[in-house]
Amino acid sequence: MSDSELSPILLCIGGHDPTGGAGILADTEAARAAGIQAATVISCLTAQNTAGIRGLWPQPLEQIETQCQLILADSQVSAIKLGLIGNSRLARWLCQFADEHPDIPLVLDPVLAAGAGQSVVDATLFYQMRTHLLGRCVLATPNLPEAQALSGAQVPADCARRLLASGCGWVLITGTHDETAEVINHLYGHDGSHHEWHWPRLPHSYHGSGCTLASAIAARLALGQPMVAAVAEAQDYTWHSLQAATRTGRDQWTPNRLFRLEPPPQAQGYAVSQYRPGDDPCRQNRDSPRRA
């Protein structure tokens, strides 16, 4: 078989969440919903549920390196999505890995804390992520608190300017942690462009929303979509995944990333938001990027 016959693959490197709400399982579902196969390498095992994380066990670097190299040797990896990293040693290797494969776009979801707020990085890993790894990524997708921590700035535009100065190609800063009636997401480009999307704020807290969005974008980049189109479509997909979320635990809600294929049953007492196919709640100027 020639390489031209191989289907594109999204390589996801991240943590395993036993609930299935976040991490590698979220990556896999978002990729399949976009129409691409995900190859997965687990960076960390975790002990967590919808209420938060209680333990984290980074996997041996040699194991992760071997798995990644075997996938690259066999498959057409067209993009890489990074989630929970676990330790600075892996972050340093990921920088080397990115340098060895500069033609594969790298998307970073800079996970600094679990959904319930518990930190999942130490000072050394934070330094590696901010100083070295960001500059090797085509896109980073921090929420506003993560962007503020990584940049030292406060408002989205200033955060983005500092993160782009590190060498990162694009920065998508999400407004999910604000208390506004709408979620406002900002995409800033290395070319000075600025795109803004407004989404109705949904009523719950969601487990794995950031993983879902970053993986949905990475999947579309792997399929050859340009950045702005990939980000726009991935936001629409993610919003509807959250709107169709179910309550699988007692705290955060779990996105239904396969809502188009497997709508949840409408059984009595089964908590689920309503989704009408064709809904498009996004208000966005899709055609004319605004200068930041």
List the CATH number of the domain containing 264. Answer: 3.40.1190.20
d(CA 191, CA 111): 26
Nearest to 231 by CA among 243, 254, 215: 215
Confidence at residue 248, expressed as pLDDT on a 0 to 100 scale:
95
Section 10-23 average pLDDT: 97
Domain of residue 250 covers 3-291
Nearest to 96 by CA among 121, 73, 64, 124: 64
Q: Is the pLDDT at 242 greater than 50, yes or no? A: yes
Q: Is the pLDDT at 269 greater than 60, yes or no? A: no
Q: Is the pLDDT at 278 greater than 60, yes or no? A: no
Structure tokens at 229: 């189109």
* First CA to last CA distance, the chain: 47
**Could you tell me the pLDDT band of residue 117, with boundaries at 50, 70 and 90?**
low
Structure tokens at 120: 């999942």
Nearest to 137 by CA among 166, 160, 115: 166
d(CA 18, CA 259): 20
pLDDT digits (tens, 9 = 90+) for 100-115: 999 999 999 999 987 6
- Percentage of residues in the chain having pLDDT higher than 90: 82
Average pLDDT, the chain: 89
Structure tokens at 16: 């395993």
Q: Is the pLDDT at 45 greater than 90, yes or no? A: yes
**Could you tell me the pLDDT band of residue 94, with boundaries at 50, 70 and 90?**
very high
State the total domains in the chain: 1
Confidence at residue 264, expressed as pLDDT on a 0 to 100 scale:
53
Q: Is the pLDDT at 199 greater than 70, yes or no? A: yes
Confidence at residue 24, expressed as pLDDT on a 0 to 100 scale:
97
Angle at 169 between CA 164 and CA 172, to 5 degrees: 75
Q: Is the pLDDT at 272 greater than 90, yes or no? A: no
Residues 6+ apart with CB under 8 A from 268: none
Q: Is the pLDDT at 255 greater than 90, yes or no? A: yes
pTM comes to 0.89
Section 54-71 average pLDDT: 97
Least confident of 15-19, 44-48, 62-66, 283-287: 283-287
The shares of helix, strand and coil residues in the chain, as percent rounded to the nearest 5, are 35, 25, 40
